[in-house]
Amino acid sequence: MKKVLLACGLIAALMIVSNPALAKTEWTFDRVDEFEKKPIDTAISTDGKTAYILTKGSILLYGLNDGQILDVIPLEKKYNSISVSPKGDQLLLTRGSLFDKSVSVIKFTTTLDLPAGTSPVIGVPDAPVTLTVFTDYQCPYCNKSFPSYEQLLKKYPNDLNVVLKHYPLKRIHPFAPQSAIAALAADKQGKYIEFSAIMFKNYRTFKKDMPLNEENLQKYAKEIGLDLEQFNQDRKDPAFQQQLNKDKKLARQAGVRGVPSLFINGQPVKDRSLEGMAKMVAAELKKK
């Protein structure tokens, strides 16, 4: 009896899948792109934005949205198949020969375009290496990371700058947006670093004596020598809120999910220790 029921179930499932009235697909040719070399095999990136097209002697990184060749990876050997690792940071190549038991692995990192725009730049503006940080003034982890940026700047005073992008997590850090705008207002008086440092020092909202609130913003501004009248007037500038909106948009485009998120010349920083960041800076300088 169970076998009969199972068979009936399978027949019903097949009828549903094969019924054209229940599943209709509309399709059209989007475009036909011509390449200089014949495609041998293709693989799609994990985010679905890039196709890796294997050709004789190279891999073409092809943007699926705009139909443009983004980059080319040269190959010394001939391969006939390509696939992408689950994390999307490796390409696996095979030769397809009966006698070749090897798999070639190409490890790569995606470099993001993170323009400084109108964000404050700490250090030499035209330095060859940029540390971009998405931060929140009420975040305890951002507080712990800030001294590392200062130390890194001291280590590479002429080769590095730091761009702080504001990504306030308002739901859990209600005063973070006001703090970011206050820092941008302080920047107009040349006190961005000083104001950022004093807010990171006093980020803990539950600390009764020195929380981040309106009263203490005035106190911090006075401590670092700001013109309070100008400071309070500048904070009303709608351009600062627009700056925060731009930073948030850029963060989402970069795949930022939390703070602090660090990038050195557009590449994600995995080792956030001073030694780890210094190693990445040195590697970027070596490229230059």
Q: pLDDT tens across 41-59, in order?
A: 999 998 888 999 999 999 9
Whether pLDDT at 237 is above 80: yes
Task: Report the SS3 class of residue 238.
Answer: helix
What values do phi and psi take at 217, rounded to 5? -60, -40
Residues 6 or more apart whose CB falls under 8 angstroms from that of 26 comprise none
d(CA 89, CA 26): 33
Judge whether 87 lies within some domain. Answer: yes
148 and 264, same domain (yes or no): yes
Whether pLDDT at 8 is above 80: no
**Predicted confidence (pLDDT) per residue in 138-169, tens digit:** 999 999 999 999 999 999 999 999 999 999 99
Alpha helical stretches, state H, the chain: 2-18, 140-155, 176-187, 192-201, 214-223, 228-234, 238-253, 274-287
- Domain residues for the domain of 177 are 121-287
Q: Find tokens 């002697």 and name the residue.
A: 57
Whole-number pLDDT of residue 61: 94
Q: Identify whether the C-beta of residue 72 lies closer than 8 Å to the C-beta of residue 35.
A: no
Judge whether 19 lies within some domain. Answer: no
Whole-number pLDDT of residue 12: 47
pTM strictly above 0.85: no
80 and 213, same domain (yes or no): no
Whole-number pLDDT of residue 1: 47
Q: How many residues does the chain have?
A: 288
DSSP 200: H
Q: State the burial class of residue 31 (Cβ atoms within 10 Å of its Cβ: 0-12, 13-18, 19+).
A: exposed
Whole-number pLDDT of residue 7: 43
Judge whether 115 lies within some domain. Answer: no
43 and 146, same domain (yes or no): no
| Number of domains present in the structure of the chain | 2
pLDDT band at 256 (very low <50, low <70, confident <90, very high): very high
141 and 222, same domain (yes or no): yes
102 and 243, same domain (yes or no): no
Whole-number pLDDT of residue 108: 80
The whole-angstrom distance between residue 174's C-alpha and the CA centroid of its chain comes to 24
The residue among 107, 131, 158 that closes a domain is: 107
82 and 135, same domain (yes or no): no
Strand partners, 34: none
Judge whether 3 lies within some domain. Answer: no
